[in-house]
Structure 1
Amino acid sequence: AIPGEPGTDYPIFSELPNNQFNCSEQRLPGYYADVSARCQVFHICLGDRQWSFLCPNGTIFSQEHFVCVWWYEFDCSKATGLYDLNEKLF
């Protein structure tokens, strides 16, 4: 079992939620945790293209390592401060 309270400690989306994330607002191409979806959603941005993905329940996207990790292994509130790590990818 996943530790914590589903929906409280971590998001439990079963499909991509509607959100306002827009790759055109990002300075760099790369991977972006969606803080409005509590980091269960991440986006890949390349030029004017955007692809959105959902991490499995109990996991969130780590902006530090660019993978889905257990919800307690990454602090989603720090994601936007790590967006510049995309510089290392391109």
Structure 2
Amino acid sequence: MEVSALQFGEHDCTVFSMFPVTSGALAGHYYNADGTPHDPYHELHLPHDPPLYPTLDRVPQTGFSCQGREWGLHADTEAYCQAFHLCQDHLVRSFLCPNATLFNDQFKVCDQFYNVRCGSPFEDL
């Protein structure tokens, strides 16, 4: 049954419309109808708990160099991929990923630890 809002006045709060919505969860996320806590680490069947990384407030000093690297973003494996660098015209600009994330060299974004193989080739993913 379809009811027009204008039939009862433009601001009649007793009238509402219901629209069927078909939706899906984001990749890696699941709808949880019963409301129990969602633990992605156990759902992913990881052999370990999330690794512990230090909480950094600045990019650590490492031996990272842009020499011999292509222009663009690169993970700093000495910083366990918590830092990344922009190599551009022989200049280095350094950045930190937000805490609890690592730089994903394949997609050039800070990502969840279980999506990142720091220092490993992409084929290992």
TM-score grouping bracket, smaller chain normalisation: 0.7 to 0.9
Q: Which has the larger radius of gyration?
A: 2
Instruction: Give me the CA root mean square deviation.
Output: 2.2
For 2:83, give the aligned amino acid.
V
More helix by share: 1
1:23 equivalent in alignment to 2:66: yes
- Please point out which of 53, 60, 65 is paired with 2:107: 65
List structure 1 runs of 4+ shifted beyond 3 angstroms: none
Partner Cα separation in structure 2 for residue 40 and residue 70 of structure 1:
11
- TM-score when scaled to structure 1? 0.73
- TM-score when scaled to structure 2? 0.54
Partner Cα separation in structure 2 for residue 41 and residue 48 of structure 1:
18
For 2:89, give the aligned amino acid.
G
More strand by share: 1
Where structure 1 has 5 or more consecutive residues not aligned to the other structure, the ranges are 83-90
Q: Work out the percentage of aligned pairs sharing the same amino acid.
A: 32
Shift of 1:10: 4.2
Residues matched between the structures, number: 76
Matched with 2:22 is none
Aligned counterparts, 1:1-90, within 5 A: 4=49, 9-12=51-54, 13-26=56-69, 28-78=70-120, 81=121
Contact kept, 8 Å, 1:33 with 1:63, in 2: the verdict is yes
